[in-house]
Amino acid sequence: MSGEQTVFRLSELAELGALALRRQVNDLFSLLELPSVWQGREPREIAESGLDLLVSLLRLDVALLRIEGPEGGLERRYPAELDGEALLSVSRAASPDSPAHFELPRPNSIGRTSLRVVSASLLGEPGTVVVGSWRENFPTVHERHLLQTIANQAALAMQSSREARARHTLAKERARLERVNSALAMLHSALDGLSRTHTVTQVAEVVLSRGLAALEARAGSLYLVDELGAELHLVQAVGYPETLVRGYRRIPVEVALPIGEAFRLKRGVYGCLEHPTTPEPGRPRASFRGYAAAPLMVDKRCLGVLCLSFAEPRPFGEDERAFIQAIAQQAAQACDRARLLEAERCARLMAEARQRRAELLSEASALFGSSLDVGAALTRVAHLLVPRFADWTVLRVVEHSPSGADETKTVCVHRDESQAERARELARELLPAEGEPRPSVSIHAVVAPISARGRVLGAIVLGLGEPGLYNADSLEFVEELGLRAGVALDNARLYQEAREADRRKDEFLAMLGHELRNPLAPMVTALQLMSMKAGGSLERERTIIWRQVEHLMRLVDDLLDVSRITRGKIQLKRERIELLAVLSKAAEMASPLFEQRSHYLELPRAGEPLFVDGDPARLAQVMANLLNNAAKYTDPGGRIVVTATGEGEQAVLRVRDNGAGISPDVLPRIFDMFVQEGRSIDRSQGGLGLGLAIVRSLVELHGGTVSACSEGLGRGSEFVVRLPLATPYAPAKDEHRSHPPAVSTQDLASALRLLVVDDNRDAAELLTELLDAKGYVTRVVFDGLAGLEAARTFQPHIALLDVGLPVMDGYELASRLRQDPSLPGLKLVAITGYGQDSDARRAHAAGFDVHMVKPIDPSQLLRVLRELVEHAEEQPQVGVQ
């Protein structure tokens, strides 16, 4: 309207002023109502209301309210599509006295696009209010005042709202904390009570008493699942009618009830029964409206369910649910602990019972094994069982007597001796009249057979005065006792049989040796006499006979050696020896067989000596057996090579032949007794298959090993003996002194009188003839009484006595000769076919000076006589006439 002037009348101006004043007053009254209008509202609502008020009071085209409060960024715009960031950017250059200009993206309702924009800060709030209008006089003083006042009132209202909300939140939190503290106190009380529980019943009492009081429940129950996981069993119920409890003592886990749902889902189930109904036919109706069922969980395992019932429905807030679940969790752990304690207690009791039973079994086994007297062992075991395991016991066994008849032994022991016969009667009632006893257990007795190797030997009956204490474990114990008793009795029987068999075997071997040696003795003597008389005639025949006699002698010696070895009767006479010297002696022993078969024997050359600690006679026997074995199984003209070397701490002897070899199936058993490979049909050089068994036993007695190897039949074999080396022996100086010259046997013979006593006339006469030929003065008799009389009249220096004499045996004869004062210096030589160690000990005990086994080598006999003469010369009190 350029060029035009607006003229107002005075009355109009007054009216306009009054109108503006009334509007300002109304605006101020509106501001005064803001605190009451905004009281209790949320900051978001206050921001929206304040922005709306500014728009309406100031007739704004744009408005923006932005606050960065504790609840986060809060922004309100008018109009909604306003570019807030552009408006804020413009408002930063504006002030209440100097508005900035903001261009709208499109004209407003009256076609304006340019706006005057001012901003105001919020009192105590990190934010700003930006408003704008197209009016030229915007903002007036009044509008600036309204803008700031509304902004401040909105800020104060927001602060007041936050404070009120904080107070409300604080009050709610305080109430919650009070409830939590109360719940914690009750939970602590429950935990304190649960910590002193030892059984699931005690756990149920504590949980239900504390839980019902804490939650103001009307009733409650605790269920635990059975071992099969099929049913929930009631542990305890509180507050329910007895008729209701009787119907719910056992509940299938699949039941359509909250308790079943809680168990299956493994989570709490809460709710109310608007119309309680009977879930299953025959079960009583429940009168409770609210319920809670919490599973008892331990390591993802559900042990059972805690159930609470309320008279009225209730919402079950989070705190209540957490409290119920906490109670259920603690109840689950307490139940699990109680179950473990109960299991531990039962296991401990079972372990103690087993330990007691094991100790009883051990003591009983020791008693059974301590004596071969079956009756005494049974009596001691019966007294062991009563009263530790029974009030009375009866043990009955059947024994085979030496006559072959069965004998029944019965032992009865009662705590009260006067009731022993009553116990015997009870045992008769429990044991079958005929047939074998069967294992059985009743409320007052246990029966088990005594058996061994599938054979029933008797029975054990144990009884108690108070029934009901025996069980399956008791039966197992008594059965084991019966087995051990059976084994002990069977072992005693076997031991007796073995002793009897061993005694008979010893007697047989002794008799066998005696009977075999008796005919050999005159044969050896006869051969010696034939050699002395006939000169070179019949040499071949004598050689054949001598070879066969030696073979028989070797067989007898092998038999007796095996007997000694198996009974552990071999005693080594150890000394430090040089192995090559022993090998030379063995080669000499085996030379007849080598010469007969024209074998070539290669012995190791003399070199560094190999010393071992051993019995020279036994080691020579070992080597001779190996050489004889090689000679026997090598074709005539064969080659046997022997090497002896030191390897580390061992002396190693190898005997290698190019003979028949050993088949692979025989090789692992080559050192077993009576094992021979059928390599020679006529077995002219065979034996009893004992040589290599003796070799292994003697080598092992020396701490060594022997092994055999062969590439197969026809490819020879090799035997290897390994013995521990000993340090070389340094002889003392006096060992090199020269010995006095030996006394001539021929010189002494003519001065010695020899008495020969033997019931074998051939052996006695031939031996006498041999001794006469050597110059001795002899007399021969054929029984013990005649020998005693001849000794008194003949006064011999040496008596050669056969042990197996008729009427008076050689042992008695020797004893009586020793007791005769007229024969003070008499030397006694036992000449017998009994070659056991016990025979030698018995001979020396009877007074013999020397024990010689038939057949006697004449040269050995002459050497013994010479030694006895030399010994007599060293002891003048004996004298030689």
Average pLDDT over every residue of 33-57: 79
Give Dmax (Cα) for the chain. 201
Spacing of C-alpha 351 from chain mean position: 17
State the Cα–Cα distance between residues 755 and 768, nearest whole angstrom.
9
Q: pLDDT for 351-383, tens place per residue?
A: 887 888 788 888 887 877 777 777 788 888 888
| Lowest-confidence region among 280-294, 477-491, 615-629, 810-824 | 280-294
The pLDDT, as a whole number, for residue 295 is: 95
| Lowest-confidence region among 18-32, 152-166, 799-813 | 18-32
| Lowest-confidence region among 225-234, 420-429, 496-505, 624-633 | 496-505
In the chain, count of helices (H) and strands (E)? 21, 28
Q: Which two tokens stand for residue 754?
A: 């020899």
List, as one string, the DSSP characters of 306-322: EEEEESS-----HHHHH
Does residue 744 surpass a pLDDT of 60?
A: no
Does residue 435 surpass a pLDDT of 80?
A: no
Does residue 814 surpass a pLDDT of 60?
A: yes
pLDDT band at 738, cuts 50/70/90? Answer: very low
Does residue 539 surpass a pLDDT of 50?
A: yes
Helix-, strand-, coil-residue percentages of the chain, each rounded to 5: 50, 20, 30
Taking each helix axis from N to C terminus, what angle separates 318-370 and 472-534, rounded to the nearest 10 degrees?
30
The pLDDT, as a whole number, for residue 235 is: 93
Q: Is 312 exposed, middle or buried (0-12, 13-18, 19+ CB in 10 A)?
A: exposed
The pLDDT, as a whole number, for residue 801 is: 92
Bridge partner list, 119: 130
Q: Which of 106, 131, 133, 136 is nearest to 120 (CA)?
A: 131
The pLDDT, as a whole number, for residue 574 is: 85
DSSP strand pairing (705-710 vs 753-757): unpaired
State the Cα–Cα distance between residues 422 and 428, nearest whole angstrom.
10
Average pLDDT over every residue of 129-145: 86
Q: What are phi and psi of 395, to 5 degrees?
A: -120, 125
The residue that leads in pLDDT, 180 or 402, is 180
Q: What are phi and psi of 299, to 5 degrees?
A: 50, 50
**How many other CB atoms sit within 10 Å of the CB of residue 623?**
24
| Lowest-confidence region among 326-335, 538-547, 572-581 | 538-547
Q: Which of 704, 713, 615, 718 is nearest to 663 (CA)?
A: 713
Q: Which two tokens stand for residue 238?
A: 């509180």
The pLDDT, as a whole number, for residue 179 is: 66
DSSP H helices in 267-406: 318-370, 374-385
Residue 269 three-state SS: strand
Strands (E), 311-415: 392-400, 406-414
Q: Which two tokens stand for residue 433?
A: 């009249």
8 Å CB contact between 829 and 849: yes
Alpha-carbon torsion 500, 501, 504, 506, what sign?
negative
DSSP H helices in 113-223: 141-195, 200-215
State the Cα–Cα distance between residues 286 and 293, nearest whole angstrom.
15
8 Å CB contact between 474 and 350: no
Does residue 736 surpass a pLDDT of 50?
A: no
> How would you classify residue 589: left for phi > 0, otherwise alpha for psi between -120 and 50, otherwise beta?
alpha
Q: Which residues contact 577 (CB under 8 A, 6 or more apart)?
A: 611, 612, 613, 614, 616, 619
Q: Which two tokens stand for residue 227?
A: 């071992």
Element (H, E) at 5: none
DSSP strand pairing (301-310 vs 290-298): antiparallel
Q: Which of 757, 766, 761, 758 is nearest to 526 (CA)?
A: 766
DSSP strand pairing (575-578 vs 611-614): antiparallel
Q: Which residues contact 14 (CB under 8 A, 6 or more apart)?
A: none
CA dihedral 777, 783, 786, 790 (to 10 degrees): 20
Bridge partner list, 576: 613
Does residue 297 surpass a pLDDT of 90?
A: yes
Q: pLDDT for 457-474, tens place per residue?
A: 888 998 887 776 788 888
State the Cα–Cα distance between residues 392 and 428, nearest whole angstrom.
13
Q: Which two tokens stand for residue 169?
A: 């939140």
pLDDT band at 47, cuts 50/70/90? Answer: confident
Does residue 223 surpass a pLDDT of 80?
A: yes
Q: Is 845 exposed, middle or buried (0-12, 13-18, 19+ CB in 10 A)?
A: exposed
Q: pLDDT for 541-577, tens place per residue?
A: 666 676 667 666 666 666 666 666 665 566 677 888 8
The pLDDT, as a whole number, for residue 33 is: 64
Q: Which of 450, 557, 497 is nearest to 853 (CA)?
A: 557
pLDDT band at 733, cuts 50/70/90? Answer: very low
The residue that leads in pLDDT, 465 or 82, is 82
8 Å CB contact between 258 and 271: yes
Q: Which two tokens stand for residue 755?
A: 């008495």
State the Cα–Cα distance between residues 523 and 549, nearest whole angstrom.
8
In angstroms, what CA-CA distances link 805 with 782, 795, 815, 844? 8, 20, 14, 17
Spacing of C-alpha 640 from chain mean position: 54
Does residue 387 surpass a pLDDT of 80?
A: yes
**How many other CB atoms sit within 10 Å of the CB of residue 242?**
9
Please give the share of the chain, as a percent, with pLDDT higher than 70.
79
Q: Which residues contact 277 (CB under 8 A, 6 or more apart)?
A: 285
Q: Which of 869, 836, 854, 849 is nearest to 764 (CA)?
A: 854
Q: Which of 800, 818, 696 is nearest to 755 (CA)?
A: 800
pLDDT band at 165, cuts 50/70/90? Answer: confident
Average pLDDT over every residue of 518-546: 67
Q: b or e along 688-727 (b: 16 or more beta carbons within 10 Å of the residue's beta carbon)?
A: eebbbbbbbbbbebbebebebebeeeeebbbbbbbbebbe
The residue that leads in pLDDT, 435 or 538, is 435
Element (H, E) at 22: helix 10-38
Q: pLDDT for 638-654, tens place per residue?
A: 999 999 998 888 999 99
The pLDDT, as a whole number, for residue 745 is: 46
8 Å CB contact between 325 and 299: no
Residue with token string 């024994």: 399
State the Cα–Cα distance between residues 24 and 304, nearest whole angstrom.
76
Residue 505 three-state SS: helix
Taking each helix axis from N to C terminus, what angle separates 858-874 and 472-534, rounded to the nearest 10 degrees?
90
| Lowest-confidence region among 168-172, 196-200, 499-503, 616-620 | 499-503
Length of the chain: 881
Residue with token string 């040696």: 517
The pLDDT, as a whole number, for residue 679 is: 42
Does residue 791 surpass a pLDDT of 80?
A: yes
State the Cα–Cα distance between residues 293 and 306, nearest whole angstrom.
6
The pLDDT, as a whole number, for residue 674 is: 61
Does 855 sit behind a cis peptide bond, omega within 30 degrees of 0 on the bond before it?
yes
Whether the model clears a pTM of 0.75, i.e. scores above it, the answer is no
The residue that leads in pLDDT, 25 or 653, is 653
Average pLDDT, the chain: 79
Does residue 735 surpass a pLDDT of 50?
A: no
Q: Which residues contact 775 (CB under 8 A, 6 or more apart)?
A: 746, 749, 750
State the Cα–Cα distance between residues 23 and 213, nearest whole angstrom.
66
The pLDDT, as a whole number, for residue 721 is: 94
The pLDDT, as a whole number, for residue 876 is: 39
8 Å CB contact between 476 and 468: no
Does residue 205 surpass a pLDDT of 80?
A: yes
Alpha-carbon torsion 840, 844, 846, 850, what sign?
positive
List, as one string, the DSSP characters of 569-631: ------EEEEHHHHHHHHHHHHHHHHHHHT-EEEPPPS-S--EEEE-HHHHHHHHHHHHHHHH
Does residue 299 surpass a pLDDT of 80?
A: yes
Q: Which two tokens stand for residue 824?
A: 């003070």
Residue with token string 């939970």: 187
Average pLDDT over every residue of 798-813: 87
